[in-house]
Amino acid sequence: MARIVSYVTGILAFVLSSPICALAQTPAPDQYRDALTLRDQWQYLTRDLPFPADWVDGTHDFVFRKTVAGGFAFIREDADSGESKPAFDQAAVAAALGDAMGESYAALRLPFDSFRYSEDGDAILFDIHYAPWRCSLRGRGCAAIDPKGRPSGFGVVRDLRVPSDNTPHISPDGKWEALVQGFNLAVQPAGGGPVTMLSSDGSEGNFYDPKTIHWAPDSRKIVVERVRPGFARYVTRVASSPDDRLQPEIRHQLYPKPGDAIDVEQPVLFHTATQGGWQQVAVDPALFPNPYQLTDLHWRADSGSFAFEYTRRGHQQAKIIAVDAESGAARAIVSETAKTFIWQDRGYWHDVGDHGAELIWLSERDGWAHLYLYDGESGKVKNRITSGDWPVRSVLRVDDKKRQIWFAASGMDSDEDPYFVHYYRINFDGSGLTALTPKHASHDVAFSSDMQYYVDTYSRVDLPNIAELHRTSDGALIRTVAKGNISRLLAAGYKIPQPFVAKGRDGTTNIWGLIVKPRNFDPGRKYPVIENIYAGPHDSFVPKTFWPFGYHSGGDKVIGMQGQADMGFIVVQIDGMGTANRSKAFQDVAWKNLADSGFPDRIAWHKAAAARYPWYDIADGVGIYGGSAGGQSTAAALLFHPEFYTVGVAYAGCYDNRMDKISWNEQWLGWPVDDSYLRSSEVMNAAKLKGNLLIIFGEQDSNVDPSSSLQLVDALIKAHKDFDLLEVPGGEHTTGRSTGPILYAQRRQYDFFVRHLRHVPTPDWNSMPDILPAP
């Protein structure tokens, strides 16, 4: 009998100590603490890790940030001499900024990642949580540039309750100033004097906008936008727990939504008549009806015409309009149409020379983003500049005299990751394509203002950042500016994420993703899988660069993924169809179909990973989490693909696109609002929910209307669906992810996946409140 008991005890001890059983145990509280504080543990362990550079205008000096013991140092370096010095006195700025904000900052841990010098060089300018700040370099302290921080209204509706900036606009010859009085345009001698009213047709319902006044270079002409205001929709939020009072506070935000009537802008021309005085000239709007917005309005150098870009509402037509300065006659130089959408944020237009005789335009007309040279008079394409099955990502510089372009592109090399960004030079006629960044990595390039030098900062997820100074004329390496050292980070347990490629829904297109394993990964175990999703059509999102703590690559996602993985999971991120930076067809999958979120590609990718790796366990379903558009996709996974995705944590999602901001949603779902909005709505499809869903959002979300989350809650309740909910008082859009009580929200996320995907209990946190750091 003793032998039997001993044998059973031995078997039990073996089972309890086996890897599979160990994974099934409840995670210890200190395991949570370690996972939740990874960023604090790791962010100061790298040395000399450079971030992308910026040049000081008119000089051969560039500035950049690099990691040092204890934090980050801002460096200013002379490209000619190689002399390096602090970009500014960080200790003095930390003290002054602390005084202004009522906070305490260490010199090497300033709350901003980049800055620029003021025009007079006496101050630095930067943003803190999207709010602009100025700190004097001469001991005069720091101050918020716009302490009110009024929301912009997303650019298509003006807030008439807030007076527009009516600072007089001085003519180029310095003799006159233009301003708006009583909704009408007026001029007066510079410095004051008799006012001459140029218009009388302005009113509150059709006003001249002082922020859009543009003088011609000859000081004899003005163009200004007259605006017919749209519907000023406001989102109302209740601050339940304000810091400065007991009682709740009501807050309002200008927030146009899809389908709302928007401001209609009409350029109006004024010029001095030959017989003296000023004359108003009508500009026929027939070529630009129903505008979403008019942008980049500017005069040509000879004052003979002005031009602007027109985007028609619905984002399926864009034009470059030129207007004759004497007659007001308008003509379309470029007219672009699309069956799906024209991606507004990726557009590019450049007038060649002073008079608009030629222009450069970016188009996806052949299925890839490429540059074309147009005749500015006839409006005909003179020639293609770039071509191939790869997209132009951005244009950095155009030299009209040399007739050369410097641009960024990806996917040109078929043997490497198609998302890696490289930089090139090409001639206007499409000849002379020259690669400037041949290293196998993703690059960020900054040119000096005179184009004599450039700094190339490059990396991969497995290659720490390297910054090099090059000569632009021939691309020759002058010197290595900085080279990241991650030995301390690796010694602390940092693991390089693993890229993985599999075929998408069509069986031919490569889908790229990243796998993050637990730091104590054991290939003999099986690990449940969680996907970190963001499927917004406006970009691609899987990190391609090393920067683990910088905004350039969303590196905090990797740290968050590592923390989640350390709780006993494999965590992945994937760029499925419907996202950007591949072909237009790849991105067009999202058109009027945001609910797709690339799920057919993602599911195929997961299945391919599971077929290759025995430790990749998707037998009981896959977990998923994401914020904003990723929150929307998370809910969509459990509604539309419950056979595959079984557990989800959705942060700050827009669950019905009619409730979200107009700019983002009309870009992908179009206008007018149609049933595509309903098909993609999780609110309308709430009854389809299966699995386990946790909804987290901030009460004061100014990006996605927080009512979007509560409307999903309402629909789930009406459908008798069970779910979990965490509303964070005072929380903004990124609450629980990068601001607000992040530790609390992430711990709740970890708990949710441990319980529902690993199927083991979680600690009783109420009985040990001091185990974890304060939120």
**Region label for 682, one of left (φ > 0), alpha (ψ between -120 and 50) or beta (otherwise):** alpha
Q: Which of 358-362, 373-377, 556-560 has the lowest average pLDDT?
A: 556-560
CA distance 122 to 139: 10
pLDDT band at 40 (very low <50, low <70, confident <90, very high): confident
**pLDDT the model gives residue 274:** 64
pLDDT band at 738 (very low <50, low <70, confident <90, very high): confident
Q: How many CB atoms lie within 10 A of CB 775?
A: 13
**Span 363-373, mean pLDDT?**
98
What is the CA 111 to chain-centroid distance, rounded?
19
> Which single residue is written with the structure tokens 């995907």?
757
Q: Which of 25-29, 625-629, 635-639 has the lowest average pLDDT?
A: 25-29
CA distance 733 to 49: 30
Q: Which of 25-29, 105-109, 576-580, 622-626 has the lowest average pLDDT?
A: 25-29
Cross-sheet strand order for the sheet of 317-324: 291-299, 305-312, 317-324, 330-337
CA distance 636 to 598: 11
**Span 629-649, mean pLDDT?**
98
Q: Which of 1-10, 81-90, 333-342 has the lowest average pLDDT?
A: 1-10
What amino acid is encoded at 719 in this protein?
A
**pLDDT the model gives residue 558:** 87
Residues 6 or more apart whose Cβ sits within 8 Å of residue 646: 620, 621, 622, 623, 638, 690, 691, 692, 756, 757
Cross-sheet strand order for the sheet of 116-117: 116-117, 123-128, 131-136, 142-144
Digit-coded pLDDT (tens) for 387-414: 999 999 999 999 999 999 999 999 999 9
Copy the structure tokens of residue 293: 């917005």
**Span 566-581, mean pLDDT?**
98
Residues 6 or more apart whose Cβ sits within 8 Å of residue 774: 743
Question: Which burial class, exposed, middle or buried, applies to 209 when counting CB atoms under 10 A from its CB (0-12, 13-18, 19+)?
Answer: buried
Beta bridge partners of 579: 577
| Residue-range domains of the chain with CATH | 26-43+500-767 (3.40.50.1820), 54-147 (no CATH)
Residues 6 or more apart whose Cβ sits within 8 Å of residue 139: 92
Residue 557 above 90 pLDDT? no
**Span 712-728, mean pLDDT?**
98
Residue 739 above 80 pLDDT? no
What is the CA 52 to chain-centroid distance, rounded?
17
Residue 19 above 50 pLDDT? no
Q: How many CB atoms lie within 10 A of CB 121?
A: 10
How large a percentage of the chain has pLDDT more than 90? 86
Residue 420 above 50 pLDDT? yes
Q: Is the dihedral of CA 657, 662, 666, 671 positive or negative?
A: positive
Question: Could you give the 3-state DSSP secondary structure of residue 126?
Answer: strand
Beta bridge partners of 61: 78
CA distance 478 to 456: 11
Residue 748 above 70 pLDDT? yes
Q: Give the mean pLDDT of the chain.
A: 93
Residue 569 · residue 623 · CB < 8 Å: yes
**pLDDT the model gives residue 548:** 65
Digit-coded pLDDT (tens) for 50-71: 999 999 999 999 999 999 999 9
Residue 5 above 50 pLDDT? no
CA distance 151 to 170: 27
Residue 370 · residue 349 · CB < 8 Å: no
pTM assigned to the model:
0.94
CA distance 473 to 451: 8
Going by the DSSP 8-state scheme, the letter that residue 285 receives in this structure is G
Q: Which of 357-366, 551-560, 566-575 has the lowest average pLDDT?
A: 551-560
What is the CA 124 to chain-centroid distance, rounded?
23
pLDDT band at 158 (very low <50, low <70, confident <90, very high): confident
**Span 291-297, mean pLDDT?**
96
**pLDDT the model gives residue 26:** 87
Separate counts of helices (H) and strands (E) for the chain: 14, 44
Q: How many CB atoms lie within 10 A of CB 691?
A: 20
Tell me which H or E stretch contains 749: helix 742-756
CA distance 575 to 505: 13
